[in-house]
Amino acid sequence: MEREYSMIDKIVMYSRDFQPSKEARLTVEPLAIDYVTHSPVSSTLLWMDGSEPVEGKVAYNNDSDIYTTIKHGKLKITFNPSTIINGNNFFPVTPEELVQSLDIVSEHLSGIGIGVNTDYAKIERIDLCRNIETDHHFSCYKPALDFISPKYLRGVDPTILGDYWLKKNRTRQYCFYDKLGELLSRKIDPLTLGVQSQNVMRGEIRFMNHKGTETALHLHTAGELRNREYYFHLADTYKSILTKDVFRIQDCEHTIGLFDSLTEELSAMHEDGICNAPIKLMAKYAIEDRGGTEWFVKLMLNAGYDRTHAWRKRKEMEDLIRTRTLREQSTIPFQILLDEMYNKFVA
Question: If you average pLDDT over residues 23-35, what whole number do you get?
Answer: 87
Among 59, 46, 49, 45, which Cα is nearest to 21's? 49
Per-residue pLDDT tens digits for 176-193:
999 999 999 999 999 999
pLDDT at residue 204 greater than cutoff 80: yes
Determine which of 12-26, 136-150, 267-281 has the lowest per-residue pLDDT on average: 267-281
E strand spans, 148-265: 159-160, 164-168, 172-178, 200-207
Q: Indicate if the pLDDT at residue 24 is higher than 90.
A: yes
Per-residue pLDDT, averaged over 65-85, amounts to 96
Tell which residue, 25, 126, 121, has the closest CA to residue 82.
126
* pLDDT score for 294: 67
pLDDT at 47 over 50: yes
Residues of the chain by 3-state class (helix, strand, coil), percent to 5? 45, 25, 30
User: The dihedral of CA 114, 120, 124, 130: what is its sign?
Assistant: positive
Is the Cβ–Cβ distance between 259 and 163 less than 8 Å?
Answer: no
**More reliable by pLDDT, 334 or 279:** 334
Would the pLDDT of 260 be above 90?
Answer: no
Task: Encode pLDDT of 80-136 as tens digits.
Answer: 999 999 999 999 999 999 999 999 999 999 999 999 999 999 999 999 999 999 999
Is 8 in contact with 234 (CB distance < 8 Å)? yes
For residue 208, give the nearest of 184, 173, 237, 159 by alpha carbon.
Answer: 173
pLDDT of 162 strictly over 60: yes
Bridge partners (DSSP) listed for residue 130: 203
* Structural domain boundaries in the chain: 7-246, 250-346
Q: Mean pLDDT in the chain? A: 83
CA angle 37, 40, 44 (to 5 degrees): 155
The percentage of the chain sitting over the pLDDT mark of 70, rounded to a whole number, equals 75
- Biggest alpha carbon distance in the chain? 84
Q: Which pLDDT tens digit goes with each residue over 314-329? A: 666 666 555 555 544 5
- The whole-number pLDDT of residue 178 equals 96
